[in-house]
Structure 1
Amino acid sequence: MADGTKFASGKSKGIDDFLRPEHLISEETKMYCKTLRKFVDNEVLPHAEEFDDYWDWTERKEHTFVDNIWKRLLIDLGLQKSFIPPEFGGSGGASTVEMGVTIEEVARGDYALASTGFISSWAVAGITIPKLNETLLKKIAPLLCGNKVYIIASAITEPHAGGSVEDVRLKGTQIKTRARLEGNEWVINGHKLWPSGYREAKMFRVLCAVEGQDFPKNIAQIFVPADVPGVSTGKPYRKMGAAIDTNGDVWFENVRVPKENRAQPNPEDEVKSVIASITIGRLISAAFPLGIMKRAYEVLKDYADNREIAGKPMKEHGAIVHELGQIAKNILAAEGFFYYAAARMDHPDVYGFPWDEKNLAAASAVQNMVGELGWDVVSRCVELMGSYGYSREGKIEKLLRDLKIGQIVVGGPILRLTELARYYFGTETI
């Protein structure tokens, strides 16, 4: 136009044209995201249809592409080292926003790859929030900064209860895995389920109830090497999606670890750490569906650009346009909501700390809302693609299965809604 106003051409946009907050992302992180995208495009997406077939990759004797993919991501591309602060030999220091964009890039390739790939960062947060446990971090940092894959899984859920173990209002009363202090050692007994990356994990962060103690002294996060006597694991569950992120049973039978393996030595700090871990876990979990949505958009865009109905492009039909608009709107809404909440998390001086109840409620809302928007986006993509939508060849149905898992992790949607009702409506008996 004469005044210089530009309108969109008929050419479709790309995954970078939504609401990623570029002004909050360092140039270093932007460059790293480009590296991750190249890795995903060249080494992950070509195997997209195979991941489901390798749900039992940890049990196989033959060599598969999965065996190499962790080393490529965690060691060669330096992701594992980024979980540790620079003063301890790592390359960390990313903001919550920057963590979100890196998760998006990997989850775009495969949800399970991202889930296991980033799981150690969640455990490390327990050591650094609310206070830095320098003694324990000095022990763990060299393991994550070395040249071998080292995964720290978080063992929280138990056979009798999932969300109840994470429910902060229950004050640890539902945790049945016990820890008692004998001299300078913790002795741990219990049974945990579902830790991401449990089968290949070299260490577990174990949420325990301390014997003989009342709240707040009754809760402890204890770091347990996977190879110490008394630790055993079962075979991985066969899930509907997220195949290469192994989940299963972990048993602890009279397991002994040093006293200093507790995440936060002070009991009140430990409680704050547990709440912060749940808050951060829920907020960051919303970045995974964002990556899935971006991939779904790419797949559908390619389909819509090349599909015809009644002699004209699919995307030029009114009913189809409505669906495409809904998809774009929901991706924009999900991305905007997540990154606004992430930016708030990066300013505790203004918005409070991750162990504050209001931030737990906000993170719960973000995970639920982004998951719901993601489910809507990918469901619409499946329907628009017809038979291709429900076939592996269409490259979209797997995204729907993976996304459903992303909606459930870290307590589940119902508990998260309960947290919201408690904070905003003063619900007390539930």
Structure 2
Amino acid sequence: MARDFRRAADAVAAQIAAGRLRPGDRLPTQRAFARRHGIAESTASRVYAELTRRGLVVGEVGRGTFVRAAQPAPDPALAEPGGAPVDLELNYPVAEGQSELLAAGLARLARPDVLAAALRPSGAAGTPQARAAVAALLAGPAWAPDPEDVLFAGNGRQAIAACLSALVRPGGRLGVEALTYPVVKAIAARLGVTPVPLECDGEGLLPDALLAAHRSAPLGALYVQPTLHNPLGTTMPDRRRAELAAALRESGLYAVEDAIWSFLRTDAPPPLAAYAPERVALVDSLSKRLAPGLTVGFAATPRELTAPVAAALRSCGWSAAGYALAAATGWLADGTAAAVAAGKRADAAARQRIAAQALAGLAARSGPGAYFCWWELPQPWRADTFVAAAARRGIAVTPAASFVVGPHRAPAAVRIGLASPPPPVLRRALESLAELARTGPDDVAAE
């Protein structure tokens, strides 16, 4: 049976390579494909899943399966800068005057005794000063982590990977939101872990979906973004966080809470870790708060997980560099990090206003203060053809398929990153995309 579905997939792939199936062509339904080739519908489903895995086709909810308009990028989405002149794919927020603020903090490291200490090896536990600074950063009225349970990584992605490595065995299952941060999918693949998509609504992850998936086949853990979910911009309300915490306790599962964008929402409810501190490892970093070029990731873990996560950080070589850790500690302690974050909140709000004006009347939505928006494209656009058309205009955006978990069909939507270009360039790019969306793919093809 395995040879049958791969042989059929190879035949379709050969037609695509030869140009007999062209970019944008719609494949027959799986039922029609099965009848045409004399195979079972379940085998046809595996053929389409294999073609999707190879990056040759893309499925869209309610519309069918289409030959991709462009080959997928060789690197994971959102992992490396794109080549387009205007990058609305990655987000590199920069606040006005942040370099001057950060430079003052680096000046103190020029003292020979301070520099000597900063250049020593740094372990997963960092330094007492760093642990205290991060614990103070994360503390709020409802929750404050114990500094002894704060661990450090080179960046947020490494902190996430270490938590997942400690919680989910190879071959295990990880619950994630049905649309999730693409790098988590790549991390799961590296760890030999299967991400399991969980249903969400307008308030975020549904706790009942978590419990149902765990009953169906045990999960190893949950990865979740309660505040400013990437890509949707959703922020879970207080009630949903309490319900999800109760589901974690009922199931006995741990959650990895991604709080990396949460600094943009000072009005959000407390982190999920405040509702179930014994079940949640909270991960954050300074790459978005400060700058991606000199960053530190950190995790505040339940006491039971501190040693396993520290072991994962050490064994994989993911601990933070001493120089970056010393710089970050100073910026956190002297108020620089808070000042830069405040500047980025103001910048994100201004960019949201630009997006609202440029995309008025189109189905683009986001959370207050987010540096990205989720755009459900008007018919008959498909995400991959829109991405290709935008690229021809020199604008890089991210198709919905990058965020979809498993073999499910991707919606006709794209994520727009707002942080990287200067505001005037952002406005022109968004206006160009709005014009493109209203033009339609057939008119673009005829140009």
TM-score, shorter chain, exceeding 0.5: no
Smaller-chain TM-score range?
under 0.3
Identify the structure with the greater helix proportion: 1
Q: TM-score, normalised by structure 2?
A: 0.24
Structure with larger RCO (C-alpha < 8 A, sep 6+)? 2
Q: TM-score, normalised by structure 1?
A: 0.25
